[in-house]
Structure 1
């Protein structure tokens, strides 16, 4: 009997020793933009970027360079590099130090009073009543007036001792109650307060807009639940509304400080920098146009820009935190 041969089973080829499994390379995702596509997306922004650099950064660089030189137009032959001497002059000059103090006092007073008045107006305009849209428009109007026009309005229409509206109202009030009302010269008797009143009138609507936006973004359910639990209006304002408005108050204070530190129109128009109202921008203007000392004026301007940038940095941080809070709620 012959042996039947069993069919040989074919075995797979042996894998070489030491070889490892390798995953096949995945193609790049189709949605990932290439470098050319990224540049094509950014290209429309380049003209605006170039314009911003030419208009803002190049003049600042030129100012920074001039601040390192002794540069007085009245003595053109004495021009030379002085390093940081101009900054030492700015920080040691009594008039410039006084202008820094005036600027700080003016800014703090205007910002704080504008915030308080803006908060009161925002709380009133947050309620529903007939004609609320008209009242809002009228309240915003002072902020829309050109600053130099607003300063002229206060100087000639309101503060003038001969025909001003304030003295006219005082006279009418005295006639009504049978006494002679005083007729003060507002600008001469209280110059810094006169400038502050004009700026407060113009910047209160700005603070009101920011705080009104904060009031309208607060969760209504918390206030309703607090009222159900027996909380009064003052308790709701103190424990719910005011903590919610903290970021908006910080934002209004920082933005207001940035603009009021650089204010020139009201001081120049109402008092012409006299009677102790010369702030730092006005002194820089005087150094540049009258003393013709370009180096000292440029050094003072650089210090103002640095201070404004510090305030702007804090303002941007507050704005970014507000966006993060709103995004987490959404």
Structure 2
């Protein structure tokens, strides 16, 4: 009997041991949550500051966009609902400057990406004076936009003593007033000059992260440089090209300095983009309501396009990791 009763006494202890893992898992989950909050807590002040600095002004802008308020007439501050949004979408000037914004963004990003790729391929090899050449190619990106716009508007495109007209005069071409005759092209050239080094740095990082053994294997298999670039290097650079296009588009769409200093949006509004037109309506036309509505539209459109582009980039990263 004592021998047979021993297992019976041990069964409750076994049941208590079966319940212990659940308790330990709960304790571990509580410890993990406390650990997660201990890591997040130092970031809360930065999060609060970001919300205050970005979201509160945006909410105030939305409030202004729902009102008809002209600074020259304080009595005009009345609630009009969505009338400002309806007015800007029927405004032909708004459509023109929106098209200019798209032209500036696409033209600058595509041209800067092509030139940046060429310069990155040049720097991805060892040659004498490589450090000096790299520094000179990066320099335009380090110049302030105001200084860059002044340089191109005064020193390069000036119709009387500009360097571009002096070079064209050497081959017998008459001098041109570039910023008046070709305002959009003049601004595009200045933007491409400034943003090409940014694209070059991103693509150069992608080239230097490429495994060298893969290139050597392609060379041993008899692939030409063009075939190696098209079938090996270019697919490897896809994520870097997508990231450079996304970041470049976000920055270029907010261009203001070059337009303000080189053409002042002229002649008329032929070279203005959305940020400059918003500035004109707010600080020259004193129409706060419509300017705020335009700002809200630009921000929402930028967020939608950026989210779509980010999803494509993340899908590219996920597919690469799975492969």
- Give the TM-score, by structure 1 length: 0.87
Aligned to 1:12: 5
* TM-superposition CA deviations, 1:6-57 (whole Å, max 9, x none): xx765307959xx896214146378763655544332322222222122111
Q: Where does structure 2 lack aligned partners over 5 or more consecutive residues?
A: none
From 206, 213, 216, the counterpart of 1:214? 206
From 243, 254, 266, the counterpart of 1:262? 254
Aligned to 2:305: 311
Q: Distance in 1 between matches of 2:306 and 2:132?
A: 33
The Cα of 1:318 is off from its aligned counterpart by 5.5
Q: Where does structure 1 lack aligned partners over 5 or more consecutive residues?
A: 1-7, 175-179
Counterparts in 2 of 1:1-330, with a 5 A limit?
11-12=4-5, 15=8, 22=15, 23-26=18-21, 28=24, 33=31, 36-171=34-169, 173-174=170-171, 180-275=172-267, 276-317=270-311, 320=314
Aligned to 1:177: none
The change in CA–CA distance for 1:63 and 1:25 in structure 2 (over 3 A counts) is same
Q: Distance in 1 between matches of 2:280 and 2:150?
A: 21
Give SS of 1:277's match: coil
Greater Cα shift, 251-260 or 35-44: 35-44
The Cα of 1:301 is off from its aligned counterpart by 0.5
Structure number with the higher helix fraction is 2
Q: Distance in 2 between matches of 1:210 and 1:121?
A: 11
Greater Cα shift, 284-293 or 238-247: 238-247
Greater Cα shift, 67-76 or 199-208: 67-76
The change in CA–CA distance for 1:285 and 1:10 in structure 2 (over 3 A counts) is closer
Greater Cα shift, 155-164 or 127-136: 127-136
The Cα of 1:135 is off from its aligned counterpart by 1.3
CA RMSD of aligned residues (A): 2.6
Greater Cα shift, 40-49 or 94-103: 40-49
Contact 2:239 2:317 in 1 (8 A): no
Contact 2:180 2:266 in 1 (8 A): no
Q: Distance in 2 between matches of 1:185 and 1:59?
A: 41
* TM-superposition CA deviations, 1:131-168 (whole Å, max 9, x none): 21221111111011111110011001111111111122
* TM-superposition CA deviations, 1:156-204 (whole Å, max 9, x none): 1111111111122233x34xxxxx4321111122111000000000000
The Cα of 1:325 is off from its aligned counterpart by 7.4
Greater Cα shift, 20-29 or 87-96: 20-29
Aligned to 1:3: none
The change in CA–CA distance for 1:186 and 1:25 in structure 2 (over 3 A counts) is same
Greater Cα shift, 148-157 or 70-79: 70-79
Q: Which has the larger radius of gyration?
A: 1
* TM-superposition CA deviations, 1:213-257 (whole Å, max 9, x none): 111112222221111111111111111111111221111111111
The change in CA–CA distance for 1:64 and 1:196 in structure 2 (over 3 A counts) is same
Contact 2:100 2:273 in 1 (8 A): yes
Q: Distance in 1 between matches of 2:276 and 2:61?
A: 17
Greater Cα shift, 150-159 or 40-49: 40-49
Contact 1:160 1:186 in 2 (8 A): yes
Give SS of 2:303's match: helix
